A and B are shown apart, each in its own frame.
Chain A
Amino acid sequence: EAAVTQSPRNKVAVTGGKVTLSCNQTNNHNNMYWYRQDTGHGLRLIHYSYGAGSTEKGDIPDGYKASRPSQENFSLILELATPSQTSVYFCASGDAGVDSDYTFGSGTRLLVI
C-alpha cells in the first residue's frame, strides 16, 4: 500500500541543537512537502520539492533547510533548533498533475526545550 512514513514520531531537542526529520514515500510522487501545524494557524508550508535534487522555499522557510536526495526521501533540517520551532510537522507527497491531491504522513511531534 502506497504511503508516507515519517520518523521519528516524537522528538525532544535542546535549543541550539541540530534536528533532522525524515520522510519516505512509496507513492512514486514527484512532489513532496513539509508543513508545520500550530493551533490557530492550520498547516503552513515550510519547504517543498518537485523531484530528486530540488528544494523550494515555502511560506515560512526561515530556520529550516530541506534535502531531497531521492524520489522517495525528503528531509527537513533544523540546524539550530529554537523553542519557537516546537510544533507538529507533516510531510506530504503529491503527483505532478493538475488537481493532484496530497497524501500526508502521520506527523512528527517536536518539542524544543
Chain B
Amino acid sequence: QQQVRQSPQSLTVWEGETAILNCSYEDSTFNYFPWYQQFPGEGPALLISIRSVSDKKEDGRFTIFFNKREKKLSLHITDSQPGDSATYFCAASDTGNYKYVFGAGTRLKVIA
C-alpha cells in the first residue's frame, strides 16, 4: 500500500517556466511533509518542508501549497533553471513518529 503518491513520474519544462509537482497522501494523521531533492549519484537532501497547520510555505523560488481537506500538496518551482533538474521526493510523517514515508519521486528536467 503506497501511502504517499506523487505525480507526474517525470516532468520536462523550459527554463523560466513554473514546474508543478504533486503529492497526495492517505493517512490523516500525517502532519509534517518535507520535500527532498536528489541529484544523480547523490543522496537526497532536504529542500523545503511544511507542517499541516500551514497552507503555504515559501523559500525563494520553491513554494509548497497544502490542502489538508483533500490530503494533497504541491511543490511549485518558479523560474525553473537547468540546475533544478533532479528527482524530487515528497515525504510524510506524524508527530512522534520519526519514520518518513516517501513517495516514488518525480524526475524533473529543465531544458535551457
- A positions within 8 Å CB-CB of B: 4, 31, 33, 35, 40-45, 48, 50, 58, 90, 92, 94, 96, 98-102, 104-107
Contacts and interface: CB of A to CB of B under 8 A. Distances in A.
Contacts of A100: 98
Given A41-B104, A42-B105, A43-B89, A105 B43 contact: yes
A69 to B, nearest CB: 20
B100 A102 contact: yes
Interface stretch (B44-52, B67-75, B77-85): B44-52
B49 A42 contact: no
Interface residues of B, number: 23
B95 A104 contact: no
* Cβ-closest 3 pairs across A and B: A104-B43, A42-B104, A43-B102
Nearest to A94: B98
Contacts of A4: 43
A44 B2 CA distance: 11
